Amino acid sequence: MKTRVYGSTGKSASEIGFGAWQLGNRQDWEAMEDNAAIRLVHEALEQGVNFYDTAPNYGRGKSEELLGKALYGKRERTVINTKFGHPAEGGSDYGAAQIRKSLDSSLQRLQTDYVDSVLLHNPPFEVLDGKYGHYEVLESLKSEGKILSYGVSVDTAAEMLEVIRHTNIGVIEVMFNIFYQETAEAFNIAKEKDIALIIKVPLDSGWLSGKYSSESTFSGVRSRWSPEVIRKRAELLEQIKFITDENTTMTMAALRFILAYPEVTTVIPGVRNSTQLHENISASHSEMPQEHVQRLQELWEKKIKHQNLGW
């Protein structure tokens, strides 16, 4: 597994990380049994995956709890990122005064005395510039050794630029994939500021795994797509099949497209079983041909950029 420098933390993160939204999450997914989840984390670690992304509201605290059990005694081999803003009990609370309490609860569930980074979890735009005191609290936690770095999880280039211009954050988690390339506009300035970039939703909520079609039906969190959006997405899938071959699945190619950007630190596909884990990891074994990268960039500019595909 290749690694990339994780901002200014002094650590390196595996190119392929472990998105832990699914762990113990009975609200949005068919939850895996606890021991199976722990075994999957152990398998990932043994395969060189050292970066783990979680949040208090993933499985209402269960994701952090399972990671804590799985990584107990192995903490020095890992890089852990968690978040603030959506408490384990549900809802949202972005009040700066709640950051310390949230982090302490996360540390307890994760069975560690520090995390490598903590992010404001998709906060309102007006929070990003720091005028409400969030970053002062985070700086205090950093000086106490409870976090090594901090930042935000956002969805757009405008949000990235807002926080970069007004703060000294060290990490941004952001949406980016073949079907959603808008955020690449802010990648260069993030790199110049030594900001680690974590890429979320890398498979476009499963579409870039190649397993969906115009005939697919969805439930749970994926029921948000209208028939029109499903049709558009299916048509786009047909147009990008050139990135696959007998040795390259759609998943592998989708992850390699993201890793073709040197500004990216790590990408965090979700993983529910050993098969998915090994497919994700295989993306780090080779690079996407530059001509494929360019064709996908052109497809975005000409045919995708102004479409409403949701997420």
**Whether residue 25 has pLDDT greater than 70:** no
Alpha-carbon distance of 208 to 212, in angstroms, equals 8
**Whether residue 16 has pLDDT greater than 60:** yes
Q: How confident is the prediction for the chain on average, in pLDDT?
A: 93
Whether the CB-CB separation of 233 and 212 falls below 8 Å is answered with yes
Is 59 buried (19+), middle (13-18) or exposed (0-12) by CB count in 10 A?
buried
Per-residue pLDDT at 281: 97
pLDDT in tens, 261-273: 999 999 999 898 9
Alpha-carbon distance of 300 to 263, in angstroms, equals 19
Q: Which residues contact 241 (CB under 8 A, 6 or more apart)?
A: 250
Per-residue pLDDT at 26: 60
Alpha-carbon distance of 177 to 66, in angstroms, equals 28
Per-residue pLDDT at 29: 52
Per-residue pLDDT at 21: 86
pLDDT tier at 43 (50, 70, 90 boundaries)? very high
Whether the CB-CB separation of 177 and 201 falls below 8 Å is answered with yes
Per-residue pLDDT at 229: 86
Q: Which residues contact 23 (CB under 8 A, 6 or more apart)?
A: 32, 37, 41, 54, 58, 59, 62, 63, 66, 67
3-state secondary structure (DSSP) of residue 265: coil
Domains detected in the chain: 3-211+249-288 (3.20.20.100)
- Vertex 88: Cα angle to 114 and 64 (nearest 5): 45
3-state secondary structure (DSSP) of residue 225: coil
pLDDT tier at 15 (50, 70, 90 boundaries)? very high
Q: Say if strands 196-200 and 171-175 run parallel, antiparallel, or are unpaired.
A: parallel
3-state secondary structure (DSSP) of residue 69: helix
Per-residue pLDDT at 230: 87
- Catalytic annotation present for 58: yes
pLDDT in tens, 277-311: 999 999 999 999 999 999 999 999 999 998 888 76
Whether the CB-CB separation of 56 and 94 falls below 8 Å is answered with no
Residues found in the chain: 311
% pLDDT > 70, the chain: 97
Per-residue pLDDT at 31: 61
Q: List the one residue out of 79, 82, 42 whose CA is nearest residue 63.
A: 82
Per-residue pLDDT at 90: 87
Mean pLDDT calculated for residue range 98-109: 97
pLDDT in tens, 149-200: 999 999 999 999 999 999 999 999 999 999 999 999 999 999 999 999 999 9
Q: Which residues contact 245 (CB under 8 A, 6 or more apart)?
A: none
Per-residue pLDDT at 257: 98
Token pair listed for 260: 């073709």
Per-residue pLDDT at 27: 53
Q: How far is CA 83 from the centre of its chain?
A: 11
Which pTM was predicted? 0.95
User: DSSP code of 180?
Assistant: B
Exactly one of 52, 58, 135, 180 is catalytic; which is it? 58
